[in-house]
Homo-oligomer: A and B are copies of this chain.
Amino acid sequence: MRGKLETPPAGYVAHKPDSLRTYLATKPRLALHLGGKPDDWTVEEVGDGNLNLVFLVHGPKGALCAKQALPYVRLVGESWPLPLSRAHFEHIALVEEAKHAPDLVPRVRHYDPIASMTIMDCLDGHIIMRKGMIAGRRYPLFATHIARFMAETLFRTSDLALTAAEKKRRVAELSGNVMLWKITEDLIFTDPYCEAELNRWTAPQIDPDAQAIRGDMKLKIAISELKERFLSETQAMIHGDLHTGSIMINAESTKMIDPEFVMYGPMGFDTGAVIGNLLLSYFSQDGHAKEPGARRDYQDWILAQIEAAWTEFEQRFLALWETAHAGDAYPKHLFADDAGKKAYAEIQRAYMRRLFADTLGFGGAKMIRRILGLAHVLDLESIADPDARAQCERRALNLARQLILERQKIASTAEVADAAREMLKK
């Protein structure tokens, strides 16, 4: 389902480098940040995003990144309309995330609602994490950064941190971002499980796997139940697209970008996106190794990151529950005595257990859509040999299926890691 092409508001101009330079020259704070005079600035449309215009602006003193929404998908054109309002919702998300994890998101310097444009600090010195992982790079702070980002943003926007009234206000505030979520609903939870026009995969190698998944009723029941949770659960404000392509990184710094799919939804959709995309990278490594097994150490590093990220996420989430619980869910005063404290620990264990099951389910869903659906990942796409690529993809599909179907049984990231290692032997 695609909407109608929207007429932008009066004053909206899709920027080109020169018009953006002129625009920035009228904003004293931004001009000061760049330094020098407008003619000293270099403005470059990087065309990195699929959906939006992205410009990098460098001046003698500083650099900025301007992200502007078009009324359609940039990569496709006017035949795929997409509302400009996504810039508004993304801005809300960036501001909220910055309250809780200011060092882990790009700093917003300016937001222009008419232009549907956000101007942020440039992330020079960072690269897209997905690309770094294809090159086999390690990021020693990644696990602790992503764990803190997820714990802070998910806990503090949930019914554990907010009053019901405040949370419902925020649910309503974001409720118009439906065209973005429709993309997720179709491309993640529906299309890969049927013969959809937009699907593509490594053919003919993966044909039998794609067909098997289209005929796998247990899996289709499970994915449909996950879709229902995605449609009706308002557990927390989620980033909504938290894969390794939405993470800019280097050895010291990690920035989570592009939250335009922001919504109130199940926390496991974010935590699952992270784990699912790390697993995609894991399985892709054999396709990038110069000789068989040459990336085993790196693959072990990836699995260690999954374990570390989840473990620290859980610890931080529970620590926030200890220190920052001010919401209406799970009122602590019902559990004040010694027996109550034991019971409350049981509540927390059950909560994290449910969240882990969601993580595995949504994580598996994210993996499958990247192999059988419209949007693929560079980790796998950049493997030139289709036979080698197909082998990586088949392993990823099989693990993903296992994560979804056994999401209630798998008890730990260690079990996930074991299952991933086993899959490499097949």
Contacts and interface: CB of A to CB of B under 8 A. Distances in A.
Interface of A: 1, 159, 163-165, 167-169, 171-172, 175-176, 178-179, 181-182, 185, 190, 193-194, 215, 217-218, 220-221, 224-225, 227-228, 231-235, 328-331, 333-335, 339-340, 342-343, 346-347, 350
Given A1-B163, A185-B328, 13 more contacts: A159-B232, A164-B178, A165-B178, A167-B232, A168-B178, A175-B175, A194-B334, A220-B334, A220-B340, A224-B330, A232-B233, A232-B235, A233-B234
A328 B179 CA distance: 13
A347 B164 contact: no
Number of copies of this chain that the complex holds: 2
B172 A342 contact: no
Given A190-B331, A221-B346, A224-B330, A231 B171 contact: no
Contacts of A330: 224, 227-228
Given A164-B181, A164-B182, A182-B164, A331 B224 contact: yes
Nearest to A266: B232
B233 A350 contact: no
The A interface is mostly helix, strand or loop, or mixed, namely: helix
A224 to B, nearest CB: 5
A338 to B, nearest CB: 11
B225 A350 contact: yes
Contacts of A190: 331, 334
Q: In the complex, which of the residues A163, A171, A218, A232 has the most CB atoms of chain B within 10 Å of its own CB atom?
A: A232
A170 to B, nearest CB: 9
B169 A175 contact: yes
Given A231-B329, A328-B231, A221 B347 contact: yes
Contact of A159 (B1, B163, B231, B335): B231
Contacts of A227: 328-330
16 contacts: A165-B179, A165-B182, A168-B176, A172-B176, A193-B334, A217-B339, A217-B343, A220-B343, A221-B346, A221-B347, A224-B334, A227-B330, A231-B328, A232-B329, A233-B233, A234-B234
A224 B347 contact: yes
A361 to B, nearest CB: 15
Contacts of A335: 217, 220
Q: List 9 tightest A-B contacts by C-beta distance, closest first.
A: A217-B343, A172-B175, A165-B178, A172-B172, A159-B231, A168-B175, A228-B329, A232-B234, A224-B330
